[in-house]
Amino acid sequence: MDNFEQIAINLIENIENAEGQRRQRFFPDNPFALSDYNFVKLYRLRKENVQDLENLLGPFLPAQHKVDALTNRNKILLTLRFLAGGSYQLDIGRNQMMKVSQSSVSRSLHSVIDAFNHHNILNTYIHFPNSMEELRDVRQRFFNLYRLPGIIGCIDCTHIAIVAPVINEHIYMNRKGFHSLNVQMICDEKLRITNVNARFCGSTHDSFIWQNSNIERFLSELPQNEMGNFYLFGDSGYPIRPWLITPFLPEPEPDTPEARFNRRFRAIRVTVERCFGLLKNRFRCLLKHRVLHYTPETAAKIVNTCAVLHNICLENNIPLYNDEEMMGFNEVEGGNLNENINHIPDNNVLGRGREVRQLLVNNYFV
């Protein structure tokens, strides 16, 4: 990160801190007294969405035993502020409108993040189409937008920086030279996240994560007569399959059908990079320079929580305001273009994948 970017980040943080101090004088103990604009700016959700989260997460949060214990609402607000800004826990407690200790912030974060990671919530808000009806629906939506058949999502991985783990530190060091989780995500045409896999360390290649994913198994086991009718778009870091289409390599000669396919392919596949950019802009704890100071297991839960909240924001058309819009877009960890490594040879599905791609070229780009 260059000096100019660091200065910009520091300036934004100073403005946030100054605004927070002014708000504390006017609205002690009541974040809901903020204007709608400032509330969304601080917490990323509208007030009614936070109220909905109280009902959603309530059954999965620990019961309050102390008279002065934080309410579920305040626990959720503390967590949202951390996810939005990525500040240290002590700073969150100081800058919150309710003054709380670092230990209270820590307990709140862990309890709320654990609640978001309950399978009932994850399966509700992060849902990959798993019926023929759902698959056909998302395929039609992609076709309506891009005029190419068969697409049901775009896939890629992104690195989420974490502090060096105590155990097996070396396996978390990625090819960029920092410790991370390598997180696989799939999104639809509206940038909604339909799959997230944050279980792998930074040194793991994208293709290995994919080959060990439930989605790969699900798509590979579709009925034979549907094979090649539903597929993801992924970069050349992945092995081509009938259910995962990649671009032509090496780059085709200009103005050939294959070159035209590659141009359209990249225009569509950038959807997942836009998804990463929006996710990290909205929840800046995921930005590379905000390094998550947690164990890999907790960091993975934080990623899952941000993915759920990302989808909630999209469902409710919650804006991301312009002064934050471009933060972090340049640091999105895209795929591994031209890195065809770790691919397990399978000549049968490899050939069928190429046939599906060539059929697209013949029907739409000749």
Domain boundaries of the chain, sorted by first residue: 3-116, 129-364
Specify which residues 241 forms β-bridges with.
Answer: 244
Per-residue pLDDT tens digits for 252-280: 999 999 999 999 999 999 999 999 999 99
Per-residue pLDDT tens digits for 208-252: 999 999 999 999 999 988 888 999 999 999 999 999 999 999 999
Nearest CA among 198, 197, 207, 201 for reference residue 175:
201
Q: What is the value of pTM for the model shown?
A: 0.87
Instruction: Tell me the helices (H) and strands (E) count for the chain, helix number first.
Output: 13, 5
Answer yes or no: are the C-beta atoms of 349 and 244 closer than 8 Å: no
Token pair belonging to 155: 């896939």
Specify which residues 155 forms β-bridges with.
Answer: 186
Per-residue pLDDT tens digits for 114-155: 999 999 999 999 999 999 999 999 999 999 999 999 999 999
